[in-house]
Structure 1
Amino acid sequence: MMFNLLRTYKVDVLRYLPKFLSNDNTFKGAQDSLSEEHEKQRLLIIDICKQLFVESATWGLDDWERVYGLQNKHLPIDQRRNLLLVKMRGAQTITESQLQEIVNLVYPPKNAIVLENTGPNTFKIIVNTIDALDEIRRVVEIYKPAHLSYLLSHAFTGKAPMRISGAVSQIERIYIMPQKSDRTITTNGPISKPVGAIAIRSRLQF
């Protein structure tokens, strides 16, 4: 968030006066003192303006949390801001994308995925790290419809190739013999004595 006031650079009142005046050390010293005080006021105004917005507030977060009934002074500033933004959204009807956005306010990697209808009255939240699980559960319990349950799922992602191997742990041999009633075989070529076939059924163990 940008706070561009009338002056966006450090105050120096001498830049508005004829340059030869700065040759007088007494005059220059007085103007430098004025510049320093003006700069303090400029920065103070900007800092006060920042407290009017949760996204940029620092010492003003105490008042925001008092209004919304939160006690998060022990948490880092970014986390306090996120929890305030979650609280400010209110208890309105929420969609899948809105819930995902709220979850990512408290989930540091910002890449959690919400999948709906993964089971009867169930949705799933997929994360790839175990950060802020308590915070995720807290905001989900606030905003999810009361009749829905959810599963917090941990999924790994990566770009490296994956190989899956296995070993045969059990083999079953099945012998299939020719039918005894097959006494006559008609063929255009030489006839070989029929032999039994062998079927092998195996099971892999990973």
Structure 2
Amino acid sequence: MNNIWLRKKEVDILRYLPYFLSKEPTFKSVNAADNAEHERLRLQIQECLEQLFLKTATWGLRLWEEYCGLQSDETLDYKTRRNRVLDVLNGTETVTKDFLLTLINRYVADKSGSVIEHYDQYYIDILLPDGKVTSFVDLEKNLRTFMPAHLGWKYVAFSGVNDYVNVSGIVSGCREFSIMADTSYDLLIDGPAEPVATGIVMQGYEITIEPDLFK
């Protein structure tokens, strides 16, 4: 929320008055008292405005829950309560894959939950990172609320590992080949004088064999 019309800086009335007035002790004291009261009112107005928006509402969440027909539970944190209200407000949306991803990741700490659809079998796999689901009870409840009756779902827990895997082995047998250098070898090409491309080299190694390597 960005209320550009509302003052963001702390109130200081003397900022708008001639500088010399701030040097007069009585006038300065009166303005300091006025500043404190104006600042208190500014913060109260800001707090009231925050209750009008679900993402910033705190004590106003009770009104949102009442509007959505939800029982207020102040033992829950603000994020969980906001998600419960969002789930009700989004109840008229079509249940698409994107909708399910948004719904599921409201209850996943790092937003890494995902969905695999099985159209021919009428169910989905819900992939959840192990140990990162913030409220499995609320997730289950909302899936039962919004999932179409003809679709089922299966939970799949997974653990992500960001690491390297090194594979090694032991040579149990080998053969040695000796390629003698022959500087008089000629390669005859029976065909066009110009090179003809017959393929594309994806990977290659260049080996240089010196003429006197095997002397």
SS in 2 for 1:152: strand
Name the structure 2 match of 1:149.
152
- The reply on whether 1:97 has 2:95 as its aligned counterpart is no
Return the alpha-carbon distance in structure 2 between the equivalents of residues 141 and 163 of structure 1.
44
In terms of mean alpha carbon deviation, does 85-94 or 30-39 score higher? 85-94
Query: Within 5 A, what are the aligned runs for 1:118-197?
Result: 120-130=121-131, 131=133, 132-162=135-165
Counterparts of 2:128 and 2:120, CA distance in 1: 18
Calculate the TM-score normalised by the size of structure 2.
0.71
Q: Please tell me the residue identity of whatever aligns with 2:82.
A: R
Root-mean-square deviation (Å): 1.8
Deviation at 1:91, TM superposition (A): 4.0
Q: CA offset at residue 3 of structure 1?
A: 3.0
SS in 2 for 1:90: helix
**What secondary structure sits across from 2:35 in the alignment?**
helix
User: Could you tell me the TM-score, scaled by structure 1's length?
Assistant: 0.74
Structure 2, unmatched stretches of 5+, are: 168-215
Partner in structure 2 of residue 183 of structure 1 = none
Q: Distance in 2 between matches of 1:70 and 1:6?
A: 32
Judge conservation of contact 1:91–1:143 (CA < 8 Å) in 2. no
**1:99-155 deviations in whole A, cap 9, x for unaligned?**
111111222221110111176111010011242222221111111111111001101
Which structure has more relative contact order (CA 8 Å, sep 6+)? It is 1
Secondary structure at the aligned position of 1:136 is classed as helix
Q: Distance in 2 between matches of 1:30 and 1:51?
A: 33
Number of aligned residue pairs: give it.
Answer: 164
Aligned to 1:174: none
Q: Are the aligned partners of 2:51 and 2:58 in contact in 1 as well (CA < 8 Å)?
A: yes
Residue aligning to 1:20: 20
Query: Shift of the alpha carbon at 1:87?
Result: 1.2
Q: Which position in structure 1 is the counterpart of 2:11?
A: 11
Alpha-carbon separation, structure 2, partners of 1:160 and 1:135? 33
One-letter code of the match for 1:53? F
| Residues 1:128 and 1:162: Cα distance change in structure 2 (over 3 Å) | farther
Segments of 5+ residues of structure 1 without an aligned counterpart are: 165-206
- Name the % identity: 32
Contact between 1:51 and 1:61, CA under 8 Å: does it hold in 2?
yes
User: Which SS does the other structure have where 2:91 is aligned?
Assistant: coil
How big is the shift at 1:162?
Answer: 4.8
Residue type matched to 1:84 in 2?
V
Alignment-derived partner of residue 171 in structure 1: none
Read off the aligned partner of 1:43 and give its amino acid letter.
L
